[in-house]
Amino acid sequence: MHARRSVRPVHALAGVLLAAALALTGCSGASDSGGDSSSLADKAAAGEVDRSDAKAGAGASGSQASSAPKLTANRIIRTASLSVRVKDVPKALDEARTTTETAGGYVGDETTNRDGDGTERTRVVLRVPVERYDEVLSALQGTGELLERTAKAQDVTDQVVDVDSRIKSQRASVARVRELMDRATKLSDVVTLEGELSSREADLEALLAQQASLKDRTSLATITLSLSEKPAPKAAEDDDPGFLDALAGGWDAFVSMLRWIAVVFGAVLPFLVVAALLLLAWLRLPRRRTAGTETEAGPTTGTGPTGGPEGD
């Protein structure tokens, strides 16, 4: 009887220890499971946020971070202006065309005119790939005497990224409207959705045109080239005139004097003729009067009282 009583307390103590161990294990398991559930909830919430941002098109920073490594110098608009003085404008223009076409570009607008002095001037717009921009610019600059050079670079990386993001969002919007049109059963809903679809497609076309313009301006650099001829050399003004120069100048003066004398004589000749006629008429009129007077007085003077026969 005494031996049985001593065994029971030992079993009771072992049961208490086992229960305590199980309790501690349950508490630690509950805490671990709570931590795992909270971390999964955070991950799920983060995933939902990412999906909602992607649908809304508001993840501009994320798109910039993902597309930033792909951006190159093609996202920079390069323009330049050159003014060069050459000996022969048509020849220099042909060389510029050949250089541009060899580089993979093309010739745009071209304008040619002449000044009052006969000097020819040409203005031409050249489009060349940005990879050959510096090479073509140096070649054009070396065709003659450089008068003026202007180069500009405009970074449009942010604008390109923004347009690309808006195009993606707009395409998704158009797709959603088309899905709604396929599900629509009422005529009023179809008409409303068609108007909305037309508006969104117009916005998408405008964005695509803007994207194409940016691509063209960033892939091809624009160079405006102005060509002008060199003025003809002038004789030195401080050279002393020689005998031939003096002879030529005297002959020119003599010819000019004769020309002016002929002009003056031609202008005065009608007046001289009239004056000569009047003078001739005036000179002949007094002679006639004198002759008439002498004829009338001739017999009277011939038979005077002093005459010999009558006096006797």
Q: What is the pLDDT of residues 216-243, one digit of tens each?
A: 999 999 999 999 987 665 554 545 667 7
Tokens 């007077």 appear where?
Answer: 293
Q: What pLDDT is attached to residue 240?
A: 61
Single-letter residue type at 147: L
Average pLDDT of the residues in 173-183: 91
- Average pLDDT taken over every residue of the chain: 74
Q: What pLDDT is attached to residue 169?
A: 94
- Using only C-alpha atoms, the chain has a radius of gyration, in whole angstroms, of 58
264 pLDDT tier (thresholds 50, 70, 90) = confident
- pLDDT of 185 > 80? The answer is yes
Q: What pLDDT is attached to residue 299?
A: 53
What is the rounded CA–CA span in Å between residue 167 and residue 161? Answer: 10
Average pLDDT of the residues in 196-222: 93
Q: What pLDDT is attached to residue 295?
A: 60
Tokens 């049109």 appear where?
Answer: 181
- pLDDT of 92 > 50? The answer is yes
297 pLDDT tier (thresholds 50, 70, 90) = low
Q: Please indicate whether residue 40 or residue 179 has the higher confidence score (pLDDT).
A: 179
Give Cα separations from 15 to 9, 19, 27, 195, 281 (angstroms).
Answer: 10, 6, 19, 79, 179
What is the rounded CA–CA span in Å between residue 214 and residue 74? Answer: 10
Pair type for strands 145-155 and 120-129: unpaired
What is the rounded CA–CA span in Å between residue 65 and residue 165? Answer: 13
184 pLDDT tier (thresholds 50, 70, 90) = confident
3-state secondary structure of 272: helix
- pLDDT above 70 as % of the chain: 64
- pLDDT of 193 > 70? The answer is yes
> What's this model's pTM, rounded to 2 decimal places?
0.49
- How long a stretch of residues is the chain? 312
The Cβ of residue 137 has, within 10 Å, a number of other Cβ atoms equal to 20
Q: What tokens were used for 61?
A: 């920073």
Q: What pLDDT is attached to residue 132?
A: 92
3-state secondary structure of 134: helix
